[in-house]
A and B are shown apart, each in its own frame.
Chain A
Amino acid sequence: MFKRFMYILAAASFIFGGMAARAQDAGALLDLLVRKKIITDQEAEEVRAELTKETAATSAGKLKLSVPITELELYGDMRVRYEYRGGRTAGNTPVGEPGAGVAGLNDWQERERERYRLRIGLRGTLADDWFFGIRLETSNKRNSTNVTFGNDGTSGTPAVPNGPFAKDDDGLFIGQAYLGYKGFRDVTLTGGRMPNPIVTTLMVWDADINPEGAAEQWKHSFTFSFGESGLAQAEQSYSKDNKALAVSRPVAEPWKLKIDVFANFAQFVYDDSNPENPLGSRSTSGGRLKPNADAWLMAWQVGARFNFPKNLYFQLAPVLYNYTGNGDTFNGHFVGGSPFVTNSASLDLNQTGINSLLVLEIPAEFGFKIGELPVRIFSDFAVNFEADARATAAGFPDKGDQRYAYLIGAGIGQLKAKHDWQLQAFWMHNEQYSLDPNLIDSDFFDSRVNMEGVVVQAGYALSDAVIFNLSYGYGWRVDDGLGTGGFHDIAINPLDKYQLFQADLNVKF
């Protein structure tokens, strides 16, 4: 009877526990039953064959992964967004001949878009401490994964609309493709097109950017205990029926401090110059040899997170960025527009040059809880040590002091489970020569430097996986004597006023 019971138990543990996931467990259980001589090898084989047959009929049983993969995770998210984005020209800049598409004074350009984005990823670990990740994303832009509904073009001659509902820009692109190694204690080595390994904020890095190159990360935790610790000595007490009971006397929790120390180093290929050694003599531009070295962005970061008792923490992670080489796309001197020429002429000035950037960024975050509500106060500060040279090259040698950027904000709540909510607000200020305009956030404020303003955001979790977000940002120019370097969606420079509203419905899976 017992034997039959155990036999059924083995089968039940497999069948009701999720077929594929429990295959190993059931195999181990059968082996145990055989070792205990509760069932015979033959009986175990019959059960095993029957279970394998049932597993093979399940969806999971039909999937096959290659042997080196030890773990695989499918993940992603889908977002539907309504967005309003508008920018206003200044009231005192030169204007061109009035006409359609020509910016006037205090003239608004506004865009309303209904958009979606899809990101699907696979993360896997491999035998011997290797790992990999790939993620497909809509949109081929560096700093956006959005696709705009109805944004379809034409084809043929004469031009015929592809739409409505064409798939002109509904492609999937490789957003991430990386591999790495974790075989050394506390060290993670990654190569490829990867999630940003630098601890940062949107002031410096747009969250959609996945840099390409190599990264080396080290992290180690130290824990310190202060005060009383160890096992409490048992004390005698007595119950009502006078039987002696041994109970532990209450002891004070030791005060613990956990410090996560980390270092992140990155070598990103910013712009590939190809060929480095051309046939014949090197070509020239404006009487100068064209650069022929790849442009690299190097980052060195060290930081620490201090975790105090009662969910209190503080994190500081200074990072230094330096650019080497020239590349063939970003080697012009950054100008960033000008308030002394017409809008179209200002937009034509170089907005992307990466000359004279040696930037120190210091992101910081302080968190605690009010009851069950997490609260965080966050900030970022950046300074470009070569702002004088960048300003001079831009034709504004007296503006070398425009070298600072900072952000400070606070958030309360979290969006982890159904009915969770979160509120967040921050102030951001970035000066014309402080940051690389190609990397900064594309929403707040349209990938521009020389802007400052406020952003407020609210989110609510409709379910564990579905989140509704509202965001509003309002910004304006910092220095009226300069353009607003960089460009994204609003064709105005200088961007004197700017505002953005986004309503998002996100589904995570």
Chain B
Amino acid sequence: MKHIYLTLITILSLTGSAYADRLVIKGSDTLGAKLVPQLAEQFKAQHPGTTFDIAAEGSTTGIAAIIDGTAQIGMSSRRAKSSEIGAASAKGINMKPTIVAYDGIAVIVNAGNPVKSLTKKQVEQIFTGEVTDWSAVDGSGGKISIYTRNTSSGTYSDFKELAMKKRDYAPGSQKMAGNEQIASEVGRNPAGIGYVGMAYIKAGGVKVVSIDGATPSIQSVQNHSYPYWRPTFYYTNGEPGGIAKTFLDFTLSLVGQKIVNQVGFVPIK
């Protein structure tokens, strides 16, 4: 009997405290590295006592966390795949996406690279390995070093879909854990090329190349004229409730969207 009471108290304390004041958010590095922590800080200022547990290890982990029930919000920089939605449905989970910000995936090269613009075809050729030398795209020559995100990243799969017709990355491409690592490597490597979310384009030593004449900006992303624009999401199990809903509403509020803008993302309106 004593054991039963103890167990009940433990469960109640975990579920009660966790879901009343503690918000578990997992997923996208693109969202989770800067944007969501800053939103959380501001939110905590308005809602004292709320604690956040944020794990930014890639969009795949965020969607998996909603399916597994180990997070209230799954951050994702890509849409959930049909296989993920199917797996969720089988468990009775209703994957509900909410667009919280737009992003433009910027193609970056080393600041010393003379290449200023690329066509969509050239981007596809470079990242699939069809073109391996900068001289083929009006560069100054030398073997191209490709930096991509790792496979659990939403940006990794989004870029494949948006820029590479879903083809595989070049075999020699180097997979990085986050946007910052890609920006850092490209900044150090004169022959480097990679892609990052708009929040990371101001990193030192890199520059953004235009794609078919378009560069990622608030306007070009909001009106979808930049080819590599994408929505970013919070995934929840159906309509969120409690602290998760409060935080989602805050993210979509004017204050939240101002933070979105400050961090380098594109507000939804």
A residues with CB within 8 A of B = 34-35, 41-42, 45-46, 48-49, 52-53, 55-57, 61-62, 64, 67-68, 127
What are the 4 tightest A-B residue pairs by CB atom distance, in nearest-first order? A56-B86, A56-B82, A67-B166, A45-B97
Give the size of the chain B interface in residues (CB under 8 angstroms): 22
Contact B167 A48 (CB under 8 A): no
B129, CB-defined interface residue at 8 Å: no
Chain B proximity of A238: nearest CB distance (Å): 53
Contact B85 A49 (CB under 8 A): yes
Contact A52 B99 (CB under 8 A): no
**In the complex, chain A residues whose CB is within 8 Å of the CB of B243:** none
**In the complex, chain B residues whose CB is within 8 Å of the CB of A45:** 79, 97-99, 231, 233
User: Which residues of chain B from 221 to 269 have any CB-CB distance to chain A below 8 Å in the complex?
Assistant: 224, 231, 233, 268
**In the complex, chain A residues whose CB is within 8 Å of the CB of B89:** 53, 56-57
Contact A49 B98 (CB under 8 A): no
Chain B proximity of A32: nearest CB distance (Å): 12
Asked, given contacts A42-B99, A45-B233, whether A62 binds B167 with beta carbons under 8 Å apart, the answer is: no
Query: Which chain B residue lies CB-closest to A23?
Result: B82
Query: Which chain A residue lies CB-closest to B89?
Result: A53
Query: Which chain B residue lies CB-closest to A20?
Result: B82
Choose among B86, B165, B233 the residue that contacts A62 (Cβ–Cβ < 8 A): B86
Asked, given contacts A41-B231, A42-B98, whether A55 binds B166 with beta carbons under 8 Å apart, the answer is: no
**Bound complex: CA A40 to CA B245 (Å):** 20
Contact B79 A48 (CB under 8 A): yes
Contact A64 B168 (CB under 8 A): no
Asked, given contacts A52-B85, A57-B86, A62-B86, whether A41 binds B99 with beta carbons under 8 Å apart, the answer is: yes
Query: Which chain B residue lies CB-closest to A56?
Result: B86
Chain B proximity of A509: nearest CB distance (Å): 27
B80, CB-defined interface residue at 8 Å: yes
**In the complex, chain A residues whose CB is within 8 Å of the CB of B96:** 46, 49
B95, CB-defined interface residue at 8 Å: yes
Chain B proximity of A25: nearest CB distance (Å): 15
Query: Which of A45, A52, A64 has the most chain B CB atoms inside 10 A of its CB?
Result: A52
**Bound complex: CA A127 to CA B165 (Å):** 10
29 residue pairs bridging A and B, Cβ less than 8 Å apart: A35-B224, A41-B99, A42-B99, A42-B268, A45-B79, A45-B98, A45-B99, A45-B231, A46-B97, A49-B79, A49-B80, A49-B85, A49-B96, A49-B97, A52-B79, A52-B82, A53-B85, A53-B86, A53-B88, A53-B89, A55-B82, A56-B86, A56-B89, A57-B89, A62-B86, A64-B83, A67-B167, A67-B168, A127-B165
**In the complex, chain B residues whose CB is within 8 Å of the CB of A41:** 99, 231, 268
Chain B proximity of A462: nearest CB distance (Å): 39
Contact A52 B80 (CB under 8 A): yes
**Bound complex: CA A46 to CA B224 (Å):** 19
**In the complex, chain A residues whose CB is within 8 Å of the CB of B82:** 52, 55-56, 61
**In the complex, chain B residues whose CB is within 8 Å of the CB of A46:** 96-97
Query: Which of A48, A56, A67 has the most chain B CB atoms inside 10 A of its CB?
Result: A56
**Bound complex: CA A49 to CA B89 (Å):** 11
Proximity string of chain B (89-133) to chain A, C-beta cutoff 8 Å, 1 when within and 0 when not: 100001111110000000000000000000000000000000000
Query: Which chain B residue lies CB-closest to A128?
Result: B167
**In the complex, chain B residues whose CB is within 8 Å of the CB of A127:** 165, 167
**In the complex, chain A residues whose CB is within 8 Å of the CB of B85:** 49, 52-53, 56
Chain B proximity of A199: nearest CB distance (Å): 36
**Bound complex: CA A34 to CA B83 (Å):** 25
**Bound complex: CA A48 to CA B233 (Å):** 13
Query: Which chain A residue lies CB-closest to B88?
Result: A53
Query: Which chain B residue lies CB-closest to A45?
Result: B97
Chain A proximity of B1: nearest CB distance (Å): 44
**Bound complex: CA A52 to CA B165 (Å):** 20
**Bound complex: CA A414 to CA B266 (Å):** 63
User: Which residues of chain B from 36 to 88 have any CB-CB distance to chain A below 8 Å in the complex?
Assistant: 79-80, 82-83, 85-86, 88
Chain B proximity of A292: nearest CB distance (Å): 40
Contact A56 B95 (CB under 8 A): no
Chain A proximity of B187: nearest CB distance (Å): 31
Query: Which chain A residue lies CB-closest to B222?
Result: A41
**Bound complex: CA A127 to CA B268 (Å):** 36
**In the complex, chain A residues whose CB is within 8 Å of the CB of B83:** 56, 64
**Bound complex: CA A45 to CA B82 (Å):** 13
**Bound complex: CA A57 to CA B168 (Å):** 27
Beyond the given A42-B98, A56-B86, please list 12 additional residue pairs across the A-B interface where CB-CB is below 8 A: A41-B99, A42-B99, A45-B233, A46-B97, A49-B97, A53-B88, A56-B82, A57-B86, A57-B89, A61-B86, A64-B83, A67-B166
**In the complex, chain A residues whose CB is within 8 Å of the CB of B80:** 49, 52
**Bound complex: CA A64 to CA B82 (Å):** 10
**Bound complex: CA A46 to CA B99 (Å):** 10
**In the complex, chain A residues whose CB is within 8 Å of the CB of B98:** 42, 45
**In the complex, chain A residues whose CB is within 8 Å of the CB of B86:** 53, 56-57, 61-62
**In the complex, chain B residues whose CB is within 8 Å of the CB of A62:** 86
**Bound complex: CA A46 to CA B236 (Å):** 12
Chain B proximity of A36: nearest CB distance (Å): 12
Chain B proximity of A452: nearest CB distance (Å): 57
**Bound complex: CA A56 to CA B85 (Å):** 7
Chain B proximity of A463: nearest CB distance (Å): 35
**In the complex, chain B residues whose CB is within 8 Å of the CB of A61:** 82, 86
**Bound complex: CA A167 to CA B18 (Å):** 62
Proximity string of chain B (145-175) to chain A, C-beta cutoff 8 Å, 1 when within and 0 when not: 0000000000000000000011110000000
**Bound complex: CA A215 to CA B233 (Å):** 52
Contact B268 A53 (CB under 8 A): no
**Bound complex: CA A68 to CA B94 (Å):** 31
Query: Which chain B residue lies CB-closest to A49?
Result: B97
